[in-house]
Amino acid sequence: MTDRNYRLLFGLAILVVLYFDLTYAMYGLIGLIFAEGITNWRIPLLVGRFMQKPGADALPMESSDFKWPLHGERAWRLAVGLMLFLTAVLFNDIAWFLPWFMGFAIFGAGVSGVCPVLLGLRFAGCRR
């Protein structure tokens, strides 16, 4: 599983949860994305390690030109988790459209392979 496929499935899960108004499932998605962001045990990496062939490297090579010792995917997960928590849990009455926008944007990032938030975080100095 790639990070692109993960974004596709995660965006679709957000949209389904919002459409059917499954509050506890939204809490679960937010908890999952925060757990991945805090521990850096990402589902695509874990699936890749279990599916890899013997002798293949599990992680890609890292570049050394970064400002922060934080992976872009990890920062993306923390930012998405924080925004979902703020907009879907705390301020749902005021900003009800933002979780929908995030769901469509993350789903679109999975379809196209281009995530503007992730590109911005990498431009700001996060690792690849």
The number of distinct structural domains making up the chain is 1
Task: Report, as an integer, the average pLDDT of 103-125.
Answer: 94
pTM given for the model: 0.85
> How far apart, in Å, do the first and last CA atoms of the chain sit?
17
Q: What is the structure's pLDDT at 95?
A: 87
Other C-beta atoms lying within 10 Å of the C-beta of residue 120? 14
Q: What is the helix (H) or strand (E) element at residue 84, kind and residue range?
A: helix 72-84
Is 56 a residue whose pLDDT tops 50?
no
Residue 74 has pLDDT above 50, yes or no: yes
Quote the tokens at residue 119. Answer: 């590109």
How far apart (Å, rounded) are the C-alpha atoms in residues 71 and 51? 22
Assigned token pair, 34: 């925060």
* Rounded Cα–Cα distance for residues 92 and 125 (Å): 32
Is the pLDDT confidence value at 67 over 80?
A: no
Q: Tokens 């992976």 correspond to what residue?
A: 71
- Per residue in 77-91, pLDDT (tens digit) is 999 999 999 999 899
CB atoms within 10 A of CB 101: 12
The pLDDT value recorded for residue 87 is 94
Domain range for 7: 3-124
From the list 77, 87, 73, the residue with the least C-alpha distance to 2 is 73
